């Protein structure tokens, strides 16, 4: 009888207590799985990731890493660091994100995904007198066609008033041809990657003054580009390219007339963003 009474009292007490517990949970936390849906937790987790407090895939589970991230966030933003995603904390997350998009700050997550120093689109606008010393004869470099972004490798083999170059392999020759469409003297803006620098330059693609099939520097007839008989200016063999092509820089000059070529200079400017 006594036991029964205690049991009834116990049950009554629990029934009385339950709404209080529930109400408290509602107002204090708004944060366990009964009050925040998995998708709302995912949203909050995304915000925590963006702000750099959570380093995990948003899962919708209110797990230990999430609680820890919430605590860190609350601590940083002057809230009680209890780990609960209450309404105050949710609002603070939103305002932190808004402040961030108004003035880009350096959250951990952003530093990881966006390079702080973006590789410049343009090349350095340096005079041929300098470029000649950077892009030396014998250098193998990557060339990027400014307009298409296509790249190929070349070797500088000759030249004193501009850089005489040859495609490194027949694959590089094919890429060059795909950019120009046909072999021509047409000038295009290019970027030269050499020794960690990016130089603004201009290139024409016409193969001239050499034969791939004959030894370099030998005297040959029928050199490419109607250059006739003379020294075979073709040092890279097996690249499916007879002779060499030209790369110009600021104030570099042509072979024959020893003059600055305005078409090349126009393209150097484009590559330099001038
Ligand atoms: Zn040349």
Summarised one tens digit per residue, pLDDT across range 66-77 is 999 999 989 988
Other Cβ atoms closer than 10 A to 99 = 10
CA–CA dist 179, 173 (Å, integer): 10
* Number of Cβ within a 10 Å radius of residue 67: 15
The Cα–Cα gap between 58 and 49 comes to 8
pLDDT exceeds 80 at position 222: yes
* Higher per-residue pLDDT: 97 or 120: 97
Q: How far apart are the first and last CA of the chain?
A: 98
C-alpha 209 – ligand 1 centre gap (Å): 9
Above 50 in pLDDT, residue 136? Answer: yes
Q: Residue 256 pLDDT more than 80?
A: no
Q: Inform me whether the pLDDT recorded for 24 exceeds 50.
A: no
Separation of 163 CA from ligand 1 center, angstroms?
6
Distance 98 CA to ligand 1 centre (A): 56
pLDDT, tens only, 79-118? 889 998 888 899 999 988 888 776 544 444 444 333 333 3
Strand, coil or helix: 244: strand
176 C-alpha to ligand 1 centroid (Å)? 17
């Amino acid at each position: 009888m006594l036991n029964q009474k205690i049991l009834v009292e116990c049950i009554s007490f629990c029934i009385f207590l339950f709404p209080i517990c529930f109400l408290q949970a509602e107002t204090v936390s708004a944060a366990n799985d009964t009050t925040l849906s998995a998708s709302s937790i995912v949203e909050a987790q995304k915000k925590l990731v963006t702000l750099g407090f959570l380093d995990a895939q948003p899962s919708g589970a209110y797990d230990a890493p999430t609680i820890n991230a919430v605590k860190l966030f609350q601590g940083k933003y002057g809230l009680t660091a209890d780990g609960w995603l209450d309404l105050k904390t949710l609002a603070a997350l939103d305002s932190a994100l808004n402040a961030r998009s108004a003035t880009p700050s350096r959250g951990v997550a952003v530093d990881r995904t966006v390079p702080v120093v973006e590789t410049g689109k343009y090349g350095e606008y340096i005079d041929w007198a300098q470029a000649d010393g950077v892009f030396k004869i014998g250098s193998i470099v990557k060339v990027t066609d400014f307009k298409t972004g296509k790249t190929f490798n070349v070797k500088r083999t000759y030249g004193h008033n501009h850089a005489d170059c040859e495609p490194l392999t027949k694959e590089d020759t094919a890429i060059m041809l795909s950019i120009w469409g046909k072999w021509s003297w047409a000038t295009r803006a290019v970027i030269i990657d050499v020794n960690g620098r990016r130089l603004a330059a201009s290139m024409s693609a016409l193969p001239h003054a050499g034969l791939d099939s004959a030894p370099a520097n030998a005297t040959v007839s029928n050199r490419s580009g109607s250059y006739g008989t003379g020294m075979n200016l073709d040092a890279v063999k097996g690249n499916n390219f007879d002779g060499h092509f030209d790369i110009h820089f600021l104030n570099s000059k042509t072979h024959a007339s020893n003059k600055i070529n305005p078409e090349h200079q126009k393209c150097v400017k484009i590559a330099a963003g001038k």
